[in-house]
Amino acid sequence: MLTDTDRWDSYLKRDDDIFVCTLGKNGTTWMQAICALLIFQKPELDFNPAERSPWFDVTLEPLEEVVSALEAQTERRVIKTHTPLDGIPFHDSCTYITVYRDPRDAFLSMRNHMDNFKLIKLDLPVAEPDEGFRLFVEASYESGGLPMGLEAAVAHYDSYWNYRHLPNIHFFHYADLKRDLRGEMGRVARALEIEIDEDLLSRLAEAASFENMKSKATQFIPGAKRDAWHDPVRFLHKGTSGQWKDVLTPETLAAFETKLAELLPPDRAKWLKQGRG
């Protein structure tokens, strides 16, 4: 198993901990960087934010090393997980930042990610993205299905959405970050209760831009210094919304819309695809 929720039994809470809770390729590394830039309040960091905020429940890293590294941190901590809310610790004093992305774009980004990963061979289910996406849409969450099937993605989304009324759960969308990074970083700062100068916020937003992060891959990409990727720069692939338009057929897109309508009401399906728009 890639993840093991039993590892959370070893988590030692601090009241101001921040959880970055996402699906894979939904902006995880981006939000980790945003949080680190806001916490340390300087555009140039002397550490890799993705390495400093570990994926706690992944089995690729020895648990003792993850716990030890977190305990050694003196600044506010950021912890990554791809697990639904019912599978991680929940504490009123901690902050939970969720990020979602159009499942069509996330799927294509995940294909690139799987092909680029060196440490573990992750075979693509099919060679053609259109057929692969149809399998993604059809995969059954209850029977296991594909790890990133649409039903599984919506179940993750539901697990946080159902508690969105709580003051420490905050929703962000990849498309909104692309449209207005500075404004969304201001929202993150408010969620984290961090006061920040407007001029500094602008400079931090420049540091968190896709272009800057891609140009400094070893500074921002998890595993870049451990030779985890065939090409670290490729980890940050296109960073765009709507890339599926030139890849998926009308028939497959129609199947996606039909399935999504079965899983979510129109307003929530619309937000999942495009954020606030």
The H-assigned helical ranges of the chain are 28-40, 49-52, 63-72, 103-116, 129-138, 150-161, 174-179, 181-191, 198-207, 210-215, 217-220, 232-235, 250-263, 266-274
Of 178, 194, 199, 228, nearest in space to 48 by CA: 228
* DSSP one-letter code for 58: B
Ramachandran area for residue 143 (φ above 0: left; ψ -120 to 50: alpha; else beta): alpha
* Integer CA distances (angstroms), 216 to 45, 47, 207, 224, in order: 11, 12, 10, 11
What the block records as the tokens of 163 is 């508690």
Q: Give 99's strand partners.
A: 22, 172
Of 98, 85, 99, 92, nearest in space to 159 by CA: 85
128: exposed, middle or buried (Cβ count in 10 Å: 0-12, 13-18, 19+): exposed
Catalytic residues: 82
> Do the beta carbons of residue 48 and residue 222 sit within 8 Å?
yes
